[in-house]
Structure 1
Amino acid sequence: MNVYYDNESRPGEGLAFVVAPTADGPPPGSHGGFLGLTNATLEATPATNRFVAVEFDTFKEPGGYDPDDNHVGLDVGTVASNKTASLAGFNITIATNKTAPANYTAWIEYDGAARRIAVYMGVRGAPRPATPVLASPLDLSELVPERAYLGFTASTGVSFELNCILDWNLTIETFPADKKSKGWVVPVAVAVPVAAIAAAAFVVARMARARRSMERRRQERLEHTLTNLPGMPKEFAFEKLRKATKNFDERLRLGKGGYGMVYKGVLPAAAVDDDDGRPPAATEVAVKMFTRDDAKCVDDFLKEVQIIHRLRHRNIVPLVGMSKIFKLHYITFA
């Protein structure tokens, strides 16, 4: 990114990367220190604003919540940052002019499992620094809607500057969610032509809707086929398989192939039905995890369940059940 101001003026006000509840434009009156995020009215009710932003602030607002005119801040529903960090100690000046021009890269990384955000910043072209300029606990699941928009906002006031997003990259990794947590990890290298921000947000939203629709159709086909299998195999809750494999511990991995991985596990007593009248006992199992995320993976999962479900041989481990969660499918053998 590049923030430029004329030598004759004073820079202001700043820009922000935001996770927002809607794709609506900036609220009226959000110029100046509101950074296009809120206004005087919305500032009175931060809990209802439902956004989280990382601000790159170039103007010290009166009121005492800005440490200086060159800082990074974490904004939760308000521009009065929950946490700020001055960049003076990192030899970084956000707003530059022709006397000392500079382009920067910012990495914004969110760990949904640890519920923590970290912001790194350095000269463009250099590797990501080892030390973040700002780090803070943060639980996005409590603060923004499940369906949200990513983008950028900026503002000017009496002071002005040119806020340029040069390019950007977004990576999201999703994991099977248990009952206690829903997590994502979001590393973001900030920057995009400003004129393309709205279009990018629209495209991302459309792609996400299309993907959800496709995944819903796959899930419906999967459930229909499994329901019509003769003697349908037992369906295990994902939590049971996770505990059986000690959270899919790498030390229990038996093998890896093009479609996924196989883990050794132990299901507790009574988790697997015995047909010979013996008392239920803990059962040693192999759990195959399908990790490919495409339609062919679903087809292969169904074919393997159908074939193995019919096989009976002393040298072939029998199928005892399966599980399906989000994009991952599991087959359990005993």
Structure 2
Amino acid sequence: MSVELNENSMGDLLKEFDVKRINSGDILKGQIIDVNEKEATVNINYAFDGVITKEELVVGDISPLEVVKPGDTLDVYVISPNDGEGYVQLSRLRALQITEKEDLKKAFKNEEVIKVLVKEEVKGGLVAYYGSIRVFIPASLASRERIELSTLLGKEIEVKLTELDLRNRKVVASRRVLEEEAYQTKKKELWKAVKSGEKREGIVKKIIKVGAIVDIGGITGLIHINDLAWERVKRVEDVVNVGDKVIVFVGDVDAEHERVSLILKDVDKEPWKVHADDIKTGDVIEGKVVKFMSFGAFVELFPGVEGLVHINEITDENIAKPSDVLEIGQIVKVKVLDVNKENKRISLSIKDAVERSNEYLQYNDNDDDVTLGDLFKDLF
């Protein structure tokens, strides 16, 4: 009767475990029962527990206690179904090598993102690890922006595989491709949001001959030299320099071709709006000669407001070109002949202003001998 009872007990015991045979090379799921400095005991849902020695559990001089703890579930590789002492000899590292390779194959095929731990900086890039598998990240693929590679040491980063040759242990990954994808997605959203006429804060990134390139938060646009200030600008550097923070107005937006024009000069202080009412036909005012053309000279009356003195209105003398009698930067008196506010054009005369000034001086020089009646006698 006792024999029958023992047989029944053994049968019940075996029902609680997976009694199928296990073989060397199998990969099983296990749960850590106990761990110390030398080994870990693992429940593999089998008649016997498994044991993982330190050498098969961790890489290098690391304590098993730093890697696993009781209750952890992990894949284990069967080295031997029986180590001679009633335990199944297992390896965590060999299981990882197999599962990690399969993970990498799947990630490479499906262009999936994986996480790697950056361990060291070497010539030409970084060495990282996906578990126990070495992954090389070239310096050019470490980031979209220029960075110090050392800043990534010890960090877990996301990458995509660009090359995978496990047989020759060649595994290459890129972090830059992920940053580029994120940047392009963000940029599309930014282009949808930017609107003509709005104000934006930006940073001057580059100076070129025709203007300044400005970043307005992920989008770069051009401030043409004519839009830097209302007055004439000879050199871009006279107004802005690389690194300057500026407030700009958004001009024309071409989201399809990713082009945007920017304006630094304050559109609310457009000189014609500010000074148009101060310029009237017949007025004689001072201005500065700012530009010569074959047909005349441009005179700045206010910053950003210029008028044309036709060559015939410069002097009564016969001259071949404006520079025969004028100089750039020269202050002259001009008479306003005509004002076209709609087209922002002003016609000026220097010779008429000179004649009027001479008449005024003549009367002033002789005012002791001349009466008001003498001055205005022709009017009666």
In the superposition, the TM-score normalised over structure 2's length comes to: 0.22
Which structure shows the bigger proportion of residues in helix conformation? Answer: 2
In the superposition, the TM-score normalised over structure 1's length comes to: 0.25
**Bigger RCO (CA 8 Å, 6+ sep):** 1
